[in-house]
Every structure is written in structure tokens, then in C-alpha cells.
Copies of this chain bind each other. A is one copy, B any other.
Amino acid sequence: MAKTNVTKFSSGQEEGGEREVGGVAGKRLKSLIERVERLEEEKSGLADDIKEVYAEAKGTGFEPRIIRRLIKLRKMDVEKRREEDELMELYKAAIGMS
């Protein structure tokens, strides 16, 4: 392992920000954490959107369970096709056609 960046970093939320324990590493870590948190927020927003769609579907008489199954099946189709393509690539590579 090259660098280790072992950084003491308080887990509390002292408003106003980090004391310079760990120096620049602290800043960097904080930035990483905030990026992840932001992305996760967006992600869970989308999860909520999806739930809304299912709720709406249910409201108009479509069973969410069935829709879920259909979507799963379609996804499996896509994956199967992709998998087949990859296998084909493997074959080609094996016989020197890559």
C-alpha cells in the first residue's frame, strides 16, 4: 500500500468545519464524502419517483407485482442478449479472430 491517509477525523458535526487534523487529507476526505452523499441523495430521489409510478399504476388498476415481473423479464432478456454477445466475443478470441 502506497499512501495510507490515516486521518483522525471527528464524526461529530461541529458547525464551522474541521480543525486541521490530518491537514489537506481532511479536506480531500470531506470532499469525497460530500460527493457520495450528494449522489446518494439523488439516487434515493429516483427511488421515490419509481415508487410514485407504481402507486399511480396501482391507482389505475395495474398490479405493481405484475409490472415488476414484466420489467424483470425484460431486463433478463437484455442481459441474456448481452451475455450471448460476450460469449461470441470469447469464441472469436479463442480462434484468433479477435
Chain A residues within 8 Å of B, Cβ to Cβ:
1-9, 11-13, 28-29, 32-33, 35-37, 39-40, 42-43, 46-47, 49-50, 53-54, 56-57, 60-63, 65-67, 69-77, 79-80, 83-84, 86-87, 90-91, 94-95
Contact = CB atoms under 8 A, between A and B. Distances in A.
A5 B61 contact: yes
B74 A76 contact: no
Interface of chain A: mostly helix, strand, loop or mixed: helix
Contacts of A6: 66, 91, 94-95
Contacts of A87: 11, 66, 69-70, 73
A80 B70 contact: no
